[in-house]
Chain A
C-alpha cells in the first residue's frame, strides 16, 4: 500500500496569532512553526497501517523553505520519503489553489490513500481534503475516528454531530482524521538520525505542471477587506468564596435574568 500524508507547518498554537497590517495575511514569522497538531495523527495513522500491512508513506507539504522542518519531523516519526512544494508564487494561496497544488502532487503517483488532519489550527477551514477528493474524483472518507483497510476496501467511522456514520469505499480514497483516532508517537533518536538520510523531493509549481498565475495571493478567490482587534471586554466582577460563592453567582445570574 502506498500512502501520502499531507502535513502543514502552522504557527505554534500557544502563540498569539495576528494579521499583518500590510497585506491582511497571517503573521507566520513572529511565531515558531510547528507541524499542525492534527497532521501528527494523520502521520501516525499512516504508519500504523503500513506497519500492519506493509507499504510506503510519503509526506507531502506545501510551504516556504522552513516547512522542510515539518517534513523532516514526519520522516523522523517513520515516514519513508517527502515531497516539499516550495515556490514564491504560492504565498497567500487560498484553499482552492492549495487544493489544486496538492491534487497535482498526488495525481499520477500511484497512491492508494491520501491522509490529512481534519483541520489546520491556523485557518481552521476543514475544506482542503474535500476539495482534493473533488478534484481527483476519489472517494471522500473524512473526519475519521477509525480507519480500517482490508484489501482495496477502506471503511471509516465519520464523526457526525451526534455520533458517527460508517462509510466505506474502494481505494484510491482521500481520508481525514480527527484527534481521537490514535496517539501520535514521538520521534526516537534513531528516527531523527534516519530522517536525515531519507529522500525529499523539492518541487516548484511548474514542476507540477501548474500555472504560477493560478496560485498565490493575486489568484485568490476571496479577499480580506479589513480587520480589527475585537474590542477588549470590560473587566468583570471577581469575588472570593467565603462560604457564599454559590449564592453570589445565583444573585448575579438573577440580575442578568438567567434565573
Chain B
C-alpha cells in the first residue's frame, strides 16, 4: 500500500484528536505518514502519532515555518509529494487546513475534496463520502486528476488505535518568497473557560433567542457543566451579543457532530440545522410545539426552558452522585 500524508494539527505540542481521526481514515486507504510543520515536536507527540498507526513522522520544525500563515505547510507538503509519491494527502477541515489544501492543489496540479466524513479505497482510487446541504444529502466523490488532496471533517471518524513504531524523518524546506509575504505578528487567545472545544466536544448544549439575554446563558452553561459539554449558540443569540461569536453553530458558524446535542430555545432555521443536523442524538427544549427543530429531535420537551433546563441540571446532579 502507498503512503498517505497526514498533516498534523496540534496545540502547544500536543497532537489534537482530529489528527488521530485522520490517521484512522488514512489506514483505510494506505500507510499513514504524519507530517509535522513548525517547532515544538516532542517524543510524546511522536508516540501518539505511532499509537494511531503512523509508521513515519516527517518533521519540518524550523521556527520560520510558524511565522507565516498557511503557505509554509503547503510548501512542506508539496515537497513531500515530490519526494514520497504518496497516494493521498489528508488535512483537517479547519480554516488553516482547507487553505493549506487549496494552495497545495494549485502547486501540485491536483484535485481537492473538502469536508470528507469517510474515506474508502476503490481499486487505486480514493472515494470520499461528503455530507452536504446541512446533512440532507450524502455524496461520494473522487479526485480525477493528480494525487487526491482531501480535507477531513472533525468528529466524523472514530479514532482507533493501531500501534506502530513511528520513525522520525527530518525534512528541510526552503520557503519561497511568496510564502513569506504575510507574517504573523501575534496571537490573541479568546477567553476560554474550562469547557471542551466546541468542534471536538462529545456533548454540546446550545441556546438561542429563547434564552432571552446574556444572563440567561448561565442556565445553559450550568447544564453544559454537569454534562462536561461545550456551549453553543444560534446566530440570533450571538448577533444579540448574548454569547461570543466563536460559539455560533450553523452555516456561518461551526459545524458540530457530537454524540449528544441539546437545543434550547432554538427554532431550527435551515442555517442552524446545517451546523448540527448530523449530531447522533438530538434533544430539544422549546415552548412552541410547531418549532421545526422538533423534526430533528430524538427526544423533545414542549415547555419553558427556564423551567425544564434547571430541573434537568439538578436531576443530572442527583443521578450522577
Look across to chain A and name the residue whose beta carbon is closest to the beta carbon of B16. Answer: A161
Mostly, the A contact residues are mixed
User: Which of B70, B115, B301 has most chain A Cβ within 10 Å?
Assistant: B301
| A167 x B183 contact (CB < 8 A) | yes
CB proximity of B269 to chain A, nearest CB, Å = 8
Known contacts A126-B99, A169-B181, A240 near B187 by CB under 8 Å? no
| A124 x B115 contact (CB < 8 A) | yes
Contact of B185 among A119, A133, A168, A222 (CB under 8 A): A168
Report chain B residues within 8 Å CB of A37.
252
| B137 x A227 contact (CB < 8 A) | yes
Known contacts A159-B95, A162-B192, A249-B308, A230 near B138 by CB under 8 Å? yes
Contact of B136 among A180, A230, A239 (CB under 8 A): A230
| B144 x A125 contact (CB < 8 A) | no
In the bound assembly, the distance between CA atoms of A161 and B314 in angstroms comes to 32
| B105 x A131 contact (CB < 8 A) | yes
| B182 x A227 contact (CB < 8 A) | no
In the bound assembly, the distance between CA atoms of A161 and B187 in angstroms comes to 11
Report chain B residues within 8 Å CB of A225.
127, 140-142
Verify if A173 is at the interface (C-beta below 8 Å from B): yes
| B270 x A13 contact (CB < 8 A) | yes
Contacts of B129-143 to chain A: CB distance below 8 A: 131-133, 135-143
| B189 x A162 contact (CB < 8 A) | yes
| A169 x B182 contact (CB < 8 A) | yes
Look across to chain B and name the residue whose beta carbon is closest to the beta carbon of A100. Answer: B106
Report chain A residues within 8 Å CB of B190.
162-164
| A160 x B95 contact (CB < 8 A) | yes
Verify if A186 is at the interface (C-beta below 8 Å from B): no
Verify if B111 is at the interface (C-beta below 8 Å from A): yes
Look across to chain A and name the residue whose beta carbon is closest to the beta carbon of B252. Answer: A179
Look across to chain A and name the residue whose beta carbon is closest to the beta carbon of B178. Answer: A137
CB proximity of B306 to chain A, nearest CB, Å = 11
Verify if B320 is at the interface (C-beta below 8 Å from A): yes
Contact indicator per residue, chain A 87-127, by CB within 8 Å of chain B (1) or not (0): 00000001110010000000000000000001101001111
Report chain B residues within 8 Å CB of A142.
70, 95, 99
In the bound assembly, the distance between CA atoms of A99 and B71 in angstroms comes to 16
CB proximity of A131 to chain B, nearest CB, Å = 5
Verify if A150 is at the interface (C-beta below 8 Å from B): no
| B181 x A139 contact (CB < 8 A) | yes
| A127 x B114 contact (CB < 8 A) | yes
| A246 x B144 contact (CB < 8 A) | no
Report chain A residues within 8 Å CB of B113.
222
Q: How many A-B residue pairs have CB under 8 A?
A: 271
| A134 x B251 contact (CB < 8 A) | no
**Number of residues from B at the complex interface, CB < 8 A:** 91
Report chain B residues within 8 Å CB of A227.
137-140
Contacts of B277-306 to chain A: CB distance below 8 A: 281-283, 285, 289, 294-304
Verify if B160 is at the interface (C-beta below 8 Å from A): no
Verify if A158 is at the interface (C-beta below 8 Å from B): yes
Contacts of A53-85 to chain B: CB distance below 8 A: none
Report chain B residues within 8 Å CB of A139.
181-182
| A246 x B182 contact (CB < 8 A) | no
Chain A's interface size range is: 35 or more
Contact of B102 among A17, A131, A248 (CB under 8 A): A131
Known contacts A241-B301, A241-B304, A167 near B141 by CB under 8 Å? no
Known contacts A137-B178, A225-B127, A237-B299, A220 near B309 by CB under 8 Å? no
Report chain A residues within 8 Å CB of B301.
238-241, 245-246, 248-249
| A94 x B182 contact (CB < 8 A) | no
CB proximity of B131 to chain A, nearest CB, Å = 7
| A158 x B69 contact (CB < 8 A) | yes
Contact indicator per residue, chain B 27-70, by CB within 8 Å of chain A (1) or not (0): 00000000000000000000000000000000000000000011
In the bound assembly, the distance between CA atoms of A247 and B316 in angstroms comes to 8
Report chain B residues within 8 Å CB of A173.
181-182
Verify if B260 is at the interface (C-beta below 8 Å from A): yes
Verify if A42 is at the interface (C-beta below 8 Å from B): no
Report chain A residues within 8 Å CB of B142.
222-223, 225
Verify if B1 is at the interface (C-beta below 8 Å from A): no
| A96 x B112 contact (CB < 8 A) | yes
Report chain B residues within 8 Å CB of A143.
95
CB proximity of B9 to chain A, nearest CB, Å = 9
Known contacts A37-B252, A134-B106, A245 near B311 by CB under 8 Å? yes
| B251 x A13 contact (CB < 8 A) | yes
CB proximity of A46 to chain B, nearest CB, Å = 19
Contacts of B231-272 to chain A: CB distance below 8 A: 245-246, 251-252, 259-260, 270-271
User: Which of B95, B100, B283 has most chain A Cβ within 10 Å?
Assistant: B95
A-B contact pairs, 12 of them (CB 8 A): A13-B251, A37-B252, A166-B187, A220-B111, A222-B141, A222-B142, A227-B140, A233-B298, A250-B319, A252-B299, A258-B260, A259-B316
Which residues of A line the B interface, CB within 8 A? Answer: 13-14, 16-19, 24, 37-38, 94-96, 99, 118-119, 121, 124-131, 133-135, 137-143, 155, 157-170, 173, 179-180, 220-230, 233, 236-241, 243-250, 252-254, 256, 258-259
